[in-house]
Amino acid sequence: MTSVSPLAGKTLDKNALADIPALISAYYNRKPDPAIAAQRVAFGTSGHRGSSLHTSFNENHILAIAEAICRYRKDKGI
Which of 44, 29, 34, 41 shows the shortest CA–CA distance to 66? 41
Per-residue model confidence (pLDDT) at position 28: 96
Average pLDDT across the chain, whole number: 88
Distance CA 59, CA 54 (A): 13
Distance CA 47, CA 52 (A): 16
Q: Enumerate the domain spans of the chain.
A: 17-76
Q: Where are the beta strands (DSSP E) in the chain?
A: 43-44, 47-48
pTM over 0.85: no
Judge whether 56 and 32 are in contact, CB under 8 Å: yes
For 3-57, the pLDDT digits (tens) are 888 888 999 888 888 899 999 999 999 999 999 998 987 766 666 678 899 999 8
